[in-house]
Chains A and B, each alone.
Chain A
């Protein structure tokens, strides 16, 4: 296919954010406060371009893979091009659309920050990397974007470079992501050995050439990449720590877009997963486990952003479970709705954090409903959506994922999904009740609330100087949140019914995947929905009994203190994953480093250098005997030499 129609727009859409990132980075000091609007504007233009190219994509998308445009070739069989199909279109719209809203919000949130332009340069760089990831028509381009978003994430988590915890979190995120990159790279190498090409089209067309082992290896490699990027157990522990970044970063990268790259990858490679049931079982189980674990840990957090981080982990677990069991369209639908409601939740939390001068500990909040009604309603809509209360969007997608597990013959995953939905309702309403109801506890002594180390528990050290810099958010922050409320509420309506717009959009794409290997479910979809809803209501009820009743509100301080002090250590330590990783990898690596530093470097490396010097010195000492300084000695040497030469010719014969 030649370059025609919407293709130039597509290239512009892809490259504009990079141009913007370079410009903001290079001219940041000159642009000052203009940097934010420029960054947001560029991403807004990209969103407009994506919308404009939409009909074209739908029109061209015949068969499993949509239209694609080869840009250049870097070797026989290795082309680099852009792919424009419903899947990449969905992600592009979310990346640029939600990205635009969040970056606009950040104009207000980051106001007065010393590195204002740098922030927007990183954000637009992230958009570029993410677009590379989803628009690439081959695995190598995907890997480039994959690494790029990891890098952007590293920059943005460690954005407050004067905070030790932020720098450590950035490093942790980067290292864990690289583990995933290595897995993905391994998968790509396997694919190259099997089909001799890296494009999706070639790979999926020649799946028959894969040996069984190679297919499982490739799928597992891809899944390791997904697990690291999408915070699946056991590579999840970077995500809660990533909340050290500014709140808009958490909303854009660590909730709405980057962490769903793994879901994208599985959905993109669905023919491979279809062909490999073992790998699919692995992905489904890990997804279910992550969903459950994230939800349980969400109940034990006090930092408003960490609660949301664990809920993100849990929801991505749902998505991976969905695409893992083969319900690809359900997983992708949950990605879409999650992008909206999670961005909304984070931006709502950002409003609270901004107004309370960077206070993030929910124990020090309370009663904010009357002080910040807008933030309350925004958060409430998000919470209702994530809990799956109809008619909010999360209801439709979560229900589709949970029922999809049953439909594709995984009753255990179905049970986990239902249970997780109940726990999700519990901890999200806990968040709402503790934060927005009762009385304001900001003036209560932290130790009365069970906060042992204010610095570690909630208040970030960098916030201290601006502690009195508390102000209500302006319209630049409120309007994006208000706009996000619309899709959060209504987006799920697209998926109602058997011939919904959603079905028509994605039905073709996953044609091979969605209609095979369904098993007759033991309960109907309607009954299943009722069960899920009933359990969700039980979760909400439990949260209300614990935090919402008038007795609970009156004794909120004592209750929170008791709960903080008596938090089971297994929850407070997040199932000891950090400790395990520390003991299994970090400590051995540090020990190896120390061993290298104390033994190998001084003895082997320095030893070799020193030994070479010693040899040179001793040789020199031998040879310096010749330099006796005695003129007569030299003369004797010459004579002896001459005699030797003459003797040589006398014996051997001159000239022969």
Chain B
């Protein structure tokens, strides 16, 4: 598998991706606003996408590009469903804090 060079070294892409991903993780875990949590999840999707594209370029393999599109599609669907759930939950129970949505507590 041949490799091409990138304008910036690959390690930087990986580092950026990791940083983005952990910002997303931290957002999901720490923040209690469902909208912010959804945004954090988007951040994680995009961290993954960034890696896909970087490696696709380095290894000249289009599968990575295709996967990035796939991820965007799924992320859009996820966002749509997630927002729908947030809206419905808000209408029924008037909460904006996910910790209050603890109906299934054991």
B102 close to A630 (CB less than 8 A): yes
Contacting residues, chain B, for A629 (C-beta < 8 A): 101-106
Residues of B within 8 A of A636 (CB): 29
Q: Is the CB of B105 within 8 A of A627?
A: yes
Q: Which of A601-631 contact B (CB under 8 A)?
A: 623-631
Q: Chain B interface (Cβ within 8 Å of chain A)?
A: 25, 28-30, 32, 37, 98-99, 101-106
Chain A contact-residue range equals 10 to 19
Cβ–Cβ < 8 Å partners of A626 in chain B: 106
Which residues does chain A contribute within 8 Å of B101, judged by CB atoms? 629, 631
Q: Which of B98, B104, B105, B106 contacts A632 (CB 8 A)?
A: B98
Contacts of B105 in A (CB 8 A): 627-629
Chain A min CB distance to B67 (Å):
19
12 pairs of residues in contact across A and B, judged by CB atoms under 8 Å: A624-B106, A625-B106, A626-B106, A627-B104, A629-B104, A629-B106, A630-B99, A631-B98, A631-B99, A632-B29, A632-B37, A636-B29
CA distance A631 to B40 in the complex (A): 14
CB distance from B50 to the nearest CB of A (A): 18
Query: Per-residue 0/1 for A632-644: is the Cβ within 8 Å of any B Cβ (1 yes, 0 no)?
Result: 1001100100000
Q: Which residues of B contact A630 (CB under 8 A)?
A: 98-99, 102
Closest to A632 in B: B29
A628 to B105, CA, bound (A): 5
Q: Which residues of B contact A623 (CB under 8 A)?
A: 106
B102 to chain A, nearest CB (A): 3
- In the bound complex, how far is the Cα of B29 from the Cα of A120, in angstroms? 86
- State the Cβ distance, B105 to closest chain A Cβ, in Å: 3
Q: Are A639's CB and B25's CB within 8 A?
A: yes
Q: Which of B28, B103, B106 contacts A635 (CB 8 A)?
A: B28
CB-CB < 8 A to A624: which residues of B?
106
> Shortest Cβ distance from B83 into chain A, in angstroms?
15
Measured between beta carbons, the chain B residues less than 8 angstroms from A625 are 106
From known contacts A626-B106, A627-B104, infer whether A632 and B99 are also in contact, taking CB-CB under 8 Å: yes
Give CA–CA (A426, B29) in the complex, Å. 107
**Closest approach, in angstroms, between the C-beta of A644 and any C-beta of chain B?**
14
For residue A630, which residue of chain B has the nearest CB? Answer: B99
A642 closest partner in B (C-beta): B25
- CA–CA, A259 to B46, complex, Å? 97
- Minimum distance in angstroms from A175 CB to a CB of chain B: 55
Instruction: Give 6 nearest A-B pairs by CB, closest first.
Output: A627-B106, A629-B105, A629-B102, A624-B106, A631-B98, A635-B28
Please, which residue of chain B has its CB at the minimum distance from the CB of A625?
B106
B29 contacts A635, C-beta separation under 8 Å: yes
A305 to B23, CA, bound (A): 103
**Apart from A627-B104, A630-B99, 13 more pairs, CB < 8 Å:** A628-B105, A629-B103, A629-B104, A630-B98, A631-B98, A631-B99, A632-B28, A632-B32, A632-B37, A632-B99, A635-B28, A636-B29, A639-B29
Who on chain A is nearest to B102 by CB?
Answer: A629
**Distance between A50 CB and nearest chain B CB, rounded to angstroms:** 80
Considering only CB atoms, which chain B residue lies closest to A621 in the complex? Answer: B106
Alpha-carbon distance between A120 and B104 when the two chains are bound, in angstroms: 69
What's the Cα separation between A639 and B40 when bound, in Å? 14
- Give Cα A517 to B33, complex, Å: 111
For B104, the chain A residues whose CB sits under 8 A away are 627, 629
A627 CA to B30 CA, complexed, in Å: 18
What residues of chain A lie closer than 8 Å to B25, measured between beta carbons? 639
Chain A: CB-nearest residue to B101: A631
User: Which residues from chain B contact A632 at a C-beta distance below 8 Å?
Assistant: 28-30, 32, 37, 98-99
Cα distance A628–B103 in the bound complex, in angstroms: 10
Chain B nearest CB from A54 CB (Å) reads 85
A636 to B106, CA, bound (A): 17
Q: How far does the Cβ of A622 sit from chain B's closest Cβ, in whole Å?
A: 10
List A contacts of B99 (CB < 8 A). Answer: 630-632
The answer for the CA separation of A636 and B104 in the assembled complex, in Å, is 17
